Amino acid sequence: MPIDFADPSNGDTYSGREADSSWFAAVTGIVDPVGAHVVDLGCGGGTYSRAWHSLGAQVTAIDSSEPILESARRNSPEGISFEVAPAELTGLPDGRADAVFARALVHHLPDVSGVAAEAFRLLRPGGTVIVQDRTSEDATLAGSSSNPRGFFFDAFPRLAEIEHRRRHHVDDVRAALTRTGFADVATQTLWETRRRYGDREQYLGEITGRIGRSILHELSDSELSELVEYLRGCLDPAELIERDRWTLWTAIAP
């Protein structure tokens, strides 16, 4: 079953992680964050809301899940405004944002157009939208010590089919942004270090808890235990640095 974002037992699933320097380098090459008003759509546990805030941005963070947003609020410093709302209908004023950011949101939405239209409405002329997500090619790269996620698909090939269905093609997001009226639509690849784990068991602890990986909600409890054993056989027991490939779509409001 897909993850239920409204279930209080999933409230902390996107908490407890901070953004890596690989991410900071990429976004500061796109937007000058100092003093910028940034809207973080589908903010989850607030990892990237805090990251923008730490760069000097004024951040409004939106998520449709009350328990997830509550966890984000609890784990974030004062000064970030958190609001429960759908990303497609935030209720924020027109034309005030310098940047609208949506990371790992659009693969949960059947259609990107609603988020593209809302970002367009929120941005001032010259403002930037950044959509960070994985295409199915990004999400199903072969397993390795830095991409243990790839082993999920060897163990359970049906998970790859789910990724192919739920992920948006690079051209579809580009087309949605263009149709909405954005200019200078462009894409780039980002290799983001997700997390450094002291050892394999720390990583496997996250997998057992289905932390921060919605695809694991597609497995039954016994399948999840099978996966953990499979991964234990694939991975070295020592330190593990997980690096994910992402696609960044950027565009400018005219």
Ligand X SMILES: C[S@@+](CC[C@H](N)C(=O)[O-])C[C@H]1O[C@@H](n2cnc3c(N)ncnc32)[C@H](O)[C@@H]1O
Q: Which of 15, 60, 64, 247 binds ligand X (CB under 6 A)?
A: 64
The residue within the footprint of ligand X, chosen from 26, 39, 43, 99 (CB under 6 A), is 43
Contacts 24+ apart (CB under 8 A), 92-95: 92/39, 92/60, 92/62, 92/122, 93/122, 94/121, 94/122, 95/121, 95/122, 95/123, 95/124, 95/125
210 sits near ligand X (criterion: CB under 6 A)? no
Q: Is 67 in the site for ligand X (CB under 6 A)?
A: no
Burial class from Cβ neighbours inside 10 Å (0-12, 13-18, 19+) for residue 91 reads exposed
Choose which of 37, 103, 194, 200 interacts with ligand X (CB under 6 A). Answer: 103
Q: How far is the CB of 212 from ligand X (least distance, A)?
A: 7
Residue 130 is which amino acid? I
Q: How far is residue 32's CA from residue 10's CA, in Å, rounded to a whole number?
A: 33
Q: Give yes or no for residue 52 binding ligand X (CB under 6 A).
A: no
- Name residues contacting ligand X, limited to 213-252 (CB under 6 A): 214
The structure tokens listed for 38 are 């940034």
The CB-of-108 to ligand X minimum distance in angstroms stands at 4
CA torsion, points 5, 105, 176, 135, in degrees to nearest 10?
-120
Stretch that binds ligand X, among 39-47, 119-127, 163-171, 222-230 (CB under 6 A): 39-47
Asked if 60 touches ligand X (CB under 6 A), the answer is no
Helices (H), the chain: 21-28, 47-54, 66-74, 113-122, 136-139, 149-155, 157-166, 170-180, 200-208, 221-234
CB 106 within 8 A of CB 112: yes
Is 48 a residue that touches ligand X (CB under 6 A)?
yes
Q: Cβ closer to ligand X: 31 or 109?
A: 109
Specify the stretch interacting with ligand X by CB under 6 A; choose among 36-44, 154-162, 222-230, 232-240: 36-44
Return the range that interacts with ligand X (CB under 6 A); candidates 40-48, 134-142, 198-206, 243-251: 40-48
Q: Under the rule (CB under 6 A), what is the footprint of ligand X?
A: 5, 14, 42-44, 47-48, 63-65, 68, 86-87, 103-105, 108-109, 214
